[in-house]
Amino acid sequence: MITNNTILVVDDEIGIRELLSEILRDEGYRVALAENAEQARVWRNKTRPDLVLLDIWMPDTDGITLLKDWASNGMLTMPVIMMSGHGTIDTAVEATRIGAFGYLEKPIPLQKLLNTVSKALRGGQNKPHAVFSLASLGKGPLIADLRKRMEQVVSLKAPLLLMGEPGVGVEICARFMHRPNTPWIEPETLTSLADSPLDLLESARDGVLFLKEIGELNKLAQKGLLLLLSKLEKYNVRLICATSQSLAELTAQGTYHPKLFEILSSLTITVPALRGHREDIPDLANQILLRFVESGEVSSVLQFSTAALNCLRNYDWPGNLTQLTGVVHSLALTCTGEEITADAVQQAMVFPESSSISVLPEIPLDLSLREARDLFEKSYFERLIGQENGNMTRVADRAGLERTHLYRKIKMLGIKLRGN
């Protein structure tokens, strides 16, 4: 099989580098070699390999540290397979949580090497935009504290509730809980909670079940979740739930089951809003831009000006990381030069006059907080959909929501779309 895939082999032992190089070249791969972490950094800074085979134990910088550096700098946009002659399960788990694709123990059986490389390359092609990892969310004190809390609860069996505004990256935190080579189940909708909750547990047996936006569950789905919670130990499933709503408020209003709230609130972690750690925004914006560059969507010389990064830093980002990703994508695609300027950022942040708060209806004060919020959101989304002529991708970007969450919200608010 002839291929143009380039594999970077990083190992301090010349014999292993040469052996791996010979095997891979015989299979038609292009191979680059680095004898230490510094050489690997230099090579990675110049170009993006399609795959990295990375030794854990090296004299200058160990492979786990290099993996963390790439993850935190937005450079982990290719699959990385860790290698070690004396590794442990803990090391493999840590590497996978940082973002490694897999782990091979030396001496590496030939067929296992080729199968793992082939699988990793296929995965890299299917996912041109690498997802964020917990290590890449930022270096400021808020994210450092978040990482510390996540590490503290990672080995627990209790259900975990992640709370945060839409778009903050709860999925990234949930992924941190996943052990390698175990099931990861993330249903697109939560209707199966009402219909067949135990089927979800069977699918996730010995792995992780991640349920998003559980604040939107109806009464029947809440009962299904309660049943599911009672069977977690039997199926050996780690349950992670996420919500952008206040379950305490919903419980006080009588729309959420008190027992369900009691169980879920026993272990909670709040994922901070982007505006709470502004110091990380420039790095995050550069990471996002790098991914679009490396996917081939935009020019390889494109970059942000310092003033543009300052503009992004000072914006409040109500849609958080999801909104920032959408804005950076739009700026990258519409930039006509080699630099994204502050003016371009400011234009992207300015909404038309017609979207001013003054055009929204006056909200009666005799409504409950939830009714008032629903009235505001209905008017907000109707105007946004009108301004974007029904283009739901742009509506989702401007609102800072994932499309699936946007459609659920629109359905819940009773908004009629064109053609429906």
Beta carbons of 242 and 211 less than 8 angstroms apart = yes
Higher pLDDT, 410 or 148: 148
What's the pLDDT score for residue 353?
35
For the segment 154-204, what is each residue's pLDDT rounded down to a tens digit? 989 999 999 999 899 999 999 999 887 789 999 988 889 998 999 999 999
For the segment 37-63, what is each residue's pLDDT rounded down to a tens digit? 999 999 998 888 999 999 998 988 899
Residue 329 CB: number of other CB atoms within 10 A? 18
Q: Would the pLDDT of 418 be above 80?
A: no
What's the pLDDT score for residue 122?
83
What's the pLDDT score for residue 129?
44
Residue 224 contacts by C-beta under 8 Å, 6 or more apart in sequence? 192, 193, 194, 195, 197
What are the extents of the domains in the chain?
6-127, 141-270, 274-350, 354-413
Q: Report the distance separating Cα 227 and Cα 145, nearest Å.
A: 33
**Domain 354-413 is in which class?**
mainly alpha
- Banded pLDDT at 28 (limits 50, 70, 90): very high
For the segment 275-294, what is each residue's pLDDT rounded down to a tens digit? 999 999 999 999 899 888 87
Rg (CA), the chain: 23
Fold match between domain 6-127 and domain 141-270: yes
Encoded amino acid at 25, one letter? R
Share of the chain above pLDDT 70, in %: 91
Q: Would the pLDDT of 415 be above 70?
A: yes
| Location of structure tokens 């608010």 | 413
Of the ranges 27-41, 200-214, 280-294, 343-357, which one carries the lowest mean pLDDT score? 343-357
Residue 20, CB-side half-sphere exposure with 13 Å CA sphere: 28
Q: Report the distance separating Cα 32 and Cα 166, nearest Å.
A: 41
Selected from 3.40.50.2300, 3.40.50.450, 1.10.3720.10, 3.90.950.10, the CATH number assigned to the domain covering 6-127 reads 3.40.50.2300
∠ Cα 292 294 300 (to 5°): 90
Q: How far is CA 221 from CA 216, 246, 247, in A?
A: 9, 18, 15
Task: Domain 141-270: give its CATH code.
Answer: 3.40.50.300
Of the ranges 208-217, 238-247, 306-315, 397-406, which one carries the lowest mean pLDDT score? 397-406
Q: Would the pLDDT of 419 be above 60?
A: no
What's the pLDDT score for residue 358?
41
**DSSP reduced 3-state for 341:** coil
For the segment 296-310, what is each residue's pLDDT rounded down to a tens digit? 777 778 999 999 999
Q: Report the distance separating Cα 379 and Cα 389, nearest Å.
A: 15
Query: How much is the average pLDDT of 233-259?
Result: 95
Query: How much is the average pLDDT of 394-410?
Result: 79
For the segment 259-269, what is each residue's pLDDT rounded down to a tens digit? 999 999 999 99
Pairing of strands 160-163, 268-270: parallel
- Please report, in angstroms and rounded to a whole number, the separation of the first and last CA atoms in the chain: 49
Of the ranges 25-39, 98-112, 216-230, which one carries the lowest mean pLDDT score? 98-112
- State the CATH architecture for 274-350: Orthogonal Bundle (1.10)
For the segment 69-125, what is each residue's pLDDT rounded down to a tens digit? 888 777 888 899 999 876 666 777 788 878 888 889 888 999 999 999 998 888 755
Q: Note the pTM of the prediction, 2 decimals.
A: 0.68
